[in-house]
Structure 1
Amino acid sequence: MTLLERLKIETRAAHDRIEAAMDLDRRIATRDRYRELLIRFYGFHRAWESAAAPKAPDRAFFERRCKTELLVNDLKALGLKSDEIIRLPQCRPLMPLPAPEAVLGSMYVVEGSTLGGAIIAHEVERRLGITAETGCAYFRSYGRDIAVMWKSFGAMLLEASSPGTDDIIVGSAQKTFDVMHDWLCEAP
């Protein structure tokens, strides 16, 4: 079994849990609720990117996948000012990311949520009329390159895979799902 197959199998329950708890119909029912959802994603990504960047196995590879600035642009398009955004709450506590392998496991969750973002973007545009230019850049983050970005991330994961690293990667992915769930689904 490859590391990607193992990740998919061993994180399936956590993935399903967060997907069910997100209640996207409610969270994208109005412009205000959608903005609140983006605020929660901003709080997660801002904290996570700061914690993960120093330990990322390939800094340039990691930075091409950072999404905080997309969220800032979306929040500005939806009426928040820069000084309001910088004061928004950040996700705490984050999972420990003690090694590059832990960052890769965590990235698996974040990159996977980007795949689902394309579906969310379609619904946001259909329901609210918000496009990538008017407040939905985060969910459209990779645009037409989404499959290429996922494939290159998968290749990096498989390259990092070894009997000594796979448990760290899978464990970090599971913890990331838990933290993301608590922050996005249970926080006010």
Structure 2
Amino acid sequence: MTILARLKTETRAAHDRIETAMDLDRRIASREAYRDLLIRFYGFHKAWEEEAAGQAPDRGFFERRRKTQHLVKDLEALGLKSEDIIRLPQCRPLMPLLGSEAVLGSMYVVEGSTLGGTIIAREVERRLGFTAETGCAYFRSYGRDIAAMWRSFGAVLLEASSPKVDDLIVESAQKTFTVMHDWLCETP
């Protein structure tokens, strides 16, 4: 079983748990609810990116996948000022990301949520009228390159995979799902 297949199998329950708990219908029912959802995503990504950046296996590969700038653009489009955004709460403490393999396991969750974001983006556009330019850049962060970005991530993950590190990769993904669930589904 490849590491990608193993991750999909061994994180399925955590994935389903967060998807159910998110209550997306409620979170995109109004402009205010949607803004609050983006604030939670910002708090997660801002903290996660700061933690993961120093341990990422390839700096350029990691930098192209940052989401915080998209969230800032969306939050500004929804009326927040830069000084308000930098004071938003962040997801702390994160689980420690000790080494590049742990970062790759954690990135599996973040990159997977980017894939799911395309579905959310369509709903946000349909319900609220936001596009990538007017408040939905985060959920459309890779635009037409979504499939290529996922494939390139999968290739890096497969290259890093070995019996020696695969348990750490899976454990990191599972912990990331837990942290993301707790942060996104907590009432601020």
TM class by smaller structure: over 0.9
Runs of 4+ in 1 over 6 A off after TM superposition: none
Instruction: Measure how far apart 1:187 and its partner are.
Output: 3.5
Report SS of the residue matched to 1:92.
Answer: coil
| Corresponding residue number in structure 2 for 1:185 | 185
C-alpha separation between the residues in 2 aligned to 1:63 and 1:69? 11
CA distance in 1, matches of 2:82, 2:144: 29
Q: TM-score, normalised by structure 1?
A: 0.99
User: How far does residue 92 in structure 1 lie from its aligned partner after superposition?
Assistant: 1.1
Question: Structure 1, residues 20-51: CA drift from partner, whole Å, max 9, x if none?
Answer: 00000000000000000000000000000000
**Identity fraction in percent:** 81
Number of residue pairs aligned between Structure 1 and Structure 2? 188
Instruction: Look up the match of 1:101.
Output: 101
Deviations 1:33-71 (A, max 9, x none): 000000000000000000000000001000000000000
* 1:78-132 residue CA offsets vs partner (Å, 9 max, x unmatched): 0000000000000011011011000000000000000000000000000000110
Q: Which residues of 2 match residues 116-155 of structure 1 at below 5 A?
A: 116-155=116-155
Give, in whole Å, the separation in 2 of the partners of 1:11 and 1:186: 21
Q: Following the alignment from structure 2 to structure 1, what is the Cα–Cα distance between the partners of residues 173 and 61? A: 18
Which residue of structure 1 lines up, in the alignment, with residue 79 of structure 2?
79
Query: How do 1:19-38 residues align onto structure 2 when only pairs under 5 Å count?
Result: 19-38=19-38
Give the alignment's TM-score, normalised by structure 2.
0.99
Specify the alignment match of 2:54 in structure 1. 54
**Cα distance in 2, alignment partners of residues 15 and 96 from structure 1:** 20
- Output the CA distance in 2 between the equivalents of 1:90 and 1:116: 22
Unaligned runs of 5+ in 2: none
Tell me the C-alpha RMSD between the 2 structures. Answer: 0.5
